[in-house]
Amino acid sequence: MPRTFLEVAYRGTHYSGFQIQDNASSIQQEVEKALETVFRRPLTLTGSSRTDTGVHAFQNYFHFDYEGVIDKRVLYNVNAILPPDIAVKDIRPVAPDAHCRFDALSREYRYYIYRTKNPFLTDRAWFFPYTLDRDKLNTAAAMVAANEDFTSFAKRNTQAKTRLCTILNSGWQEEGECLVYRVTANRFLRGMVRGLVGTMLQVGRGKISVEEFAAIIAKKDNQLANFSAPGHGLFLFRISFPDSIFENAV
């Protein structure tokens, strides 16, 4: 059966995460309801990357199977039904065996903090009004890029069979009023980016040393990491796929 990728963006402030769940609002639930209204039949969505409560996305994906041609004009109808904090950005036919989760080559997350009070950033970045040593932050970020085992930064209640991730880049940069941690990897563990951010900020503040940060990585014990970074500062920024997924669409 023909398969379709659905690209979505959302502000996660009012949702309990990306994936559908009992007795809680989710991005998947809202999108499935809108699609059912437009296509007049239920469609089961498979998600690419699960985001937690309050986490945002500039780009995330679902895929679904549908027998028939889908006109891109359907985007207008779906977006008219969706709440204002969720948008469908694109709808594309893909190869019948394409999978938006398992075929992703990489995912990029960005975590935003701001240090001067700004009411327009309260739900899109973490207010962190402390002096930070940028050199120490980037030294810690380089250690992240050199590591593969992220057991120390994974929450225990996860179904992941391995804690190994390949980090493609990791670093802190200024972006407007925000200091932003950018990290790209082939995969991420639940809570991983927030654990990295919370722990690295302790390095930046001088609460722990660079050497102690290295020891936290090496000990593979998540009780040593700091998971205090709230969800509202985190954005799933980009997901990359091989071109063949779209070129081989039937």
Of 102, 191, 181, the C-alpha closest to 144 is 181
- 90 catalytic? Reply is no
Q: Give Cβ neighbours of residue 245 (< 8 Å, ≥ 6 apart).
A: 5, 94, 95, 98, 103
Give me the phi and psi of 182, to 5 degrees please.
-115, 130
Q: Which of 38, 36, 32 is nearest to 77 (CA)?
A: 38
For the chain, how many residues are written?
Answer: 250
DSSP H helical segments within the chain, as ranges? 27-39, 74-81, 134-146, 192-204, 210-219, 244-247
The C-alpha atoms of residue 5 and residue 27 are separated, in whole angstroms, by 16
Spatial contact of 65 and 249, defined as CB atoms under 8 Å apart: no
How wide is the angle at C-alpha 94 spanned by C-alphas 68 and 184, nearest 5°?
145
Beta strands 86-94; 3-10: pairing state: antiparallel
Q: Which residue has the tokens 């963006």?
A: 9
- According to DSSP, the β-strands at 86-94 and 106-114 are unpaired
Could you say which of 22, 52, 65, 97 is catalytic?
A: 52
Q: Which residues are catalytic?
A: 52
